Amino acid sequence: MGSKEQSQRGTAAVEFAIMAPLFVAVLFAIVEFGLILYTQSMLTHASREGARFGVVYCTPRRTAGEIQQVVQGFLDQCGLTSTASVTVTGAGGAGGSDLDVLVTYTYQFFVLSKIINSCSLGGSLPSTIDLRSETVMRME
């Protein structure tokens, strides 16, 4: 085996050592942003479920507490209860009035912010991001 072949193998190892961390960071970023999109989708669905529950005509009208329980129950099934808060405005109103269900959630980054902040590239990424979803429906 000649010295040229050995240097080629060494070059491949150096290229791998340079590219592997970048590839892993991109892979984690894809997974992290997928989780953020999933979380946002579940918040949207939870606020919609709560609003629909609250606007359906019944006697007596549903209270804000009952609507919050429906939303929290949905969020429990999704595993999003740690920092979720639900605000209901207009519950128990007359037919034709608006019901507003706002769900906010603080998403905690798993890996991405730690990777970016540990690199000395000069940039920083917060360790959390606030997600929110609001649904407004008219009372039946």
C-alpha separations of 25 from 77, 114, 125 in Å: 30, 10, 14
- CB 54, CB 68: distance < 8 Å: no
pLDDT tens digit sequence for 110-132: 877 766 666 655 566 788 899 99
The model's pTM:
0.82
Catalogue the E-assigned strands of the chain.
Answer: 84-89, 98-108, 128-138
> What is the predicted pLDDT for the residue at 127?
84
Q: What is the mean pLDDT of residues 31-59?
A: 95
Q: Among residues of the chain, what percentage have pLDDT more than 70? A: 86
pLDDT tens digit sequence for 2-34: 566 666 667 888 888 999 988 988 898 899 999
Please, which residues bridge with residue 57 across strands?
none
